[in-house]
Copies of this chain bind each other. A is one copy, B any other.
């Protein structure tokens, strides 16, 4: 666990409520991924942690971003897609045209998610049927 190098034993300058930080292996352990993967996400522009010398130090915000990346992976998104989605959160879009493109992107993602919802619904139903058939077949094979 990465610890703050407190010069004095007192909590130095509690300027913010959360000054918790993570090392790269902290995050790799927590999420069950390799440090290589985390560095790769940084390479692809999805993370940009602070540095203490050479070492990366991750803020709680970085940790949230990582969670969003992994959620995106569970939904089958590419890293580029996840990056786009994450960029939809921060309000770094002053331009009107950009805001409209953002709204368009949001609408697109929403449509995709609705399609995924439909896909999941049908797959769930089909799994139910498959389970029924399997259970019936089991009952027949166990007590013939």
Chain A residues engaging chain B, CB cutoff 8 angstroms: 71, 73-77, 85, 88-89, 91, 93-94, 96, 99-100, 102-103, 106, 109-110, 113, 115-117, 119-120, 122-124, 126-127, 130-131, 133-135, 137-138, 141-142
5 more A-B residue pairs beyond the given contacts A76-B76, A106-B127, A106-B131, with a C-beta to C-beta distance below 8 A: A71-B122, A85-B123, A91-B133, A96-B142, A103-B138
The answer to whether A93 and B123 touch (CB under 8 A), given A74-B115, A75-B116, is no
Which residues of chain B are near A109, meaning CB under 8 Å?
123, 127
Which residues of chain B are near A102, meaning CB under 8 Å?
130, 134
The answer to whether A103 and B71 touch (CB under 8 A), given A76-B76, A85-B123, is no
Docked complex Cα distance between A89 and B131 (Å): 9
Docked complex Cα distance between A122 and B70 (Å): 13
